[in-house]
Structure formats: structure tokens, C-alpha cells
Chains A and B, each alone.
Chain A
Amino acid sequence: AQSVTQLDSHVSVSEGTPVLLRCNYSSSYSPSLFWYVQHPNKGLQLLLKYTSAATLVKGINGFEAEFKKSETSFHLTKPSAHMSDAAEYFCVVSDLRNNDMRFGAGTRLTVKP
């Protein structure tokens, strides 16, 4: 069975500085990986997905993530944080046989002025 570990429950950055949200996964088969963002009192919005094509995936709002099979990681980055990036972020894994998605516990991103 697949699983996800988000290594930080809370990350705090200053506006204009880089963002790094870390995610490690475990999967017996070829994984698909997703990052979702959740703003307060809203549902989850898809940021980006990896599905065995290019290992560097670009998403919305300037976010990107790199799939590293040797490290079983799928970290989310953004070069310059904006106040509107403050939210909770979820890393998700599923394998290509089915859509049994497993969510990480989430990382809350705070952006300081």
C-alpha cells in the first residue's frame, strides 16, 4: 500500500523568499503524485500532478515539484512567496492501477510580511 509523509507540519517564510514543502512517498508500483492547496473554509484545489512523464512538474501560481525516484521524494517549491500563498498544502500519492489516493497530514504555510 502506498503512503505519504509530509516532513513539516508548519513552515513559515517571509514574503518574497523561497518556499520549500517536503514530501516523501512510499509506493509498491509506479506512483502518481499530486499537490493540493486548501485555503481556509474551502475545498482542495489541484496545484500540480506527476504521472510518469517529465520529472519536473510545473503547476499553477508559480509552484513546481520535482519527482526523485532515488530519494522517494516529491518536494514542492516556489521561488518567491506571496501573501496569498498562505494556506495548507497536501501531498497525495496513488498508484497507476487505481485511484486509491493517500493523503499526507498536511503542511501549513505561513507567509510573513
Chain B
Amino acid sequence: DAGITQSPRHKVTETGTPVTLRCHQTENHRYMYWYRQDPGHGLRLIHYSYGVKDTDKGEVSDGYSVSRSKTEDFLLTLESATSSQTSVYFCAISESRAGNQPQHFGDGTRLSIL
């Protein structure tokens, strides 16, 4: 299995509080991704990174920001959490952005916002 660690694995917080999720990889892959998984929607891309300090928006980026200060770490921040952001969040990595390269996933963070 790819060396991807997500933390925390579970979190419960209140509306309006800031939340940061961490993804750590040991594979030295250039590309890192944050997805959310909701019933009936599969996984949807929030943001991705193509290098240190290089990030771009995905399909559902509103309300989220990201940062990547080191190759191995990719942080997802909810500045002011809302109940609609209750979801399971997955980090993924890939060696390149070529379309034939699979992504490898972490075990996810289950986030509940009350």
C-alpha cells in the first residue's frame, strides 16, 4: 500500500470553527489531491497540488483552502466549517498528472460538523 497517512481519522466540531486536515506521504510523489465523498456522488475533487506551494482548484473548492509547504504534507483547511461540509475526506497521490496514472488513496477522515 502507498504510504499515505491522514490525520485525524475522525473529528467532530461545531459550525463556524476552523478545521485543518493533514495528509502525509512517504512516496515522494509530486501530485497530491483532496477529495470529499458523499452518498450518491462518488468522490469529488476539492483541490490538488502539483508541487511545493503550487495548488489549483477542483470541482468543489468553495469554502476550502489548501497549503503545501513540503513535498510530503498537504493540508486542507475549512476556515469556518458549515454543516454542508460534513463528509468523508480522502487524500490521494500520484507520480504524474498523465491520464493513465492511477491515484493512490489514504484511509480517509470522517468529519462531522454539528
Chain B contact residue count (CB 8 A cutoff): 24
Min CB gap B27→A, angstroms: 14
Instruction: Check if A95 is an interface residue, CB within 8 A of chain B.
Output: yes
Which A residues, 3 to 62, have Cβ-Cβ distances below 8 Å to chain B? 4, 9, 31-32, 34, 36, 41-46, 49, 51-52
The answer on a CB contact under 8 Å between B42 and A104 is yes
Instruction: Check if B74 is an interface residue, CB within 8 A of chain A.
Output: no
Interface centre among B31, B40, B43, B96 (most CB of A within 10 A): B43
The answer on a CB contact under 8 Å between B97 and A99 is yes
The answer on a CB contact under 8 Å between B103 and A101 is yes
Known: A52-B100, A96-B98, A99-B99. 5 other contacts (CB 8 A): A44-B90, A95-B99, A99-B98, A99-B103, A100-B99
